[in-house]
Structure 1
Amino acid sequence: MQYPLYVHGDSRNGFRASFADLPLACARGATLDELRSSAQGAVELQYDRSEQLIPGPTGSMSELQSLPMDDGHGIWMYVEINLVRVTSQAVSVEFSLPASLLHQVDACAKQRHLTRSAFFALAAAREVGVLEMGERPQLPSWRAAPE
């Protein structure tokens, strides 16, 4: 999957980057090729055999640019992350919503500095009783309920 990565760089230290959707993983590299390789390794290190939610990638550039991590001093790029090499209990889902509701969800997620995937994961966790209403976990440290 192609995940967005926010990249900072300078001529002395190479590049450092953070994922919008995978906040536990950070990558570094002297070159962009090394950064891409480091990104895969960082995701594997932080999420393999973890109960941490691995959301799908955010595809909306406007949503990415509204995140606090976009300080205007870096660039967004997409890197291929092979999730086959990461064992997780999280699964991808697809569903439909009325367009007006989705616009409200996006506005609320933006206000809370969350991606759409993180918003839906938190809403589902609250609905099934994993989280209490009003409780705000430090993302992404909360754990999904066991099956």
Structure 2
Amino acid sequence: MKKNINVLLINGPNLNLLGDREKNIYGDKTLSCLINDLKKRSEILNISLNDIQSNAEHVIIEKIHSAKKEKIDYIIINPAAFTHTSIAIRDALIAVTIPFIEVHISNIYARENFRSHSWLSDISKGVITGLGLDGYFWALETISKRCCV
């Protein structure tokens, strides 16, 4: 039997506003509805999904730091606006050496120019951008196929 995979899902600033915020870009599904759907899919994939959303950079960093002690096998992170600004989150991810997939709901390369640079992409196992909320599900599927076998 395949071992249970422990995955930490991190959602950055303003993603708590999913369903209300710029529906033309982010859709009308709320974050809690998305998390609920992801947890249902995770069960089928034998993944234990832990999640956090924070608008505070230090909270995200502390959660990344604690991931090693919590025996997290993989991280899915949508750093949101921290994508373009946070070297501290980058350093935290490097420090814990837990593989991660970077996810973006919108295509960051098709938006404002300042959004096209990510401080995380080059150290990630992969980047999923512009596929809407489906990107999260693709990340789970990828982890299920590639992790801990």
TM-score by structure 1 length?
0.34
Which of 1 and 2 has greater Rg? 1
**Which one has the bigger helix percentage?**
2
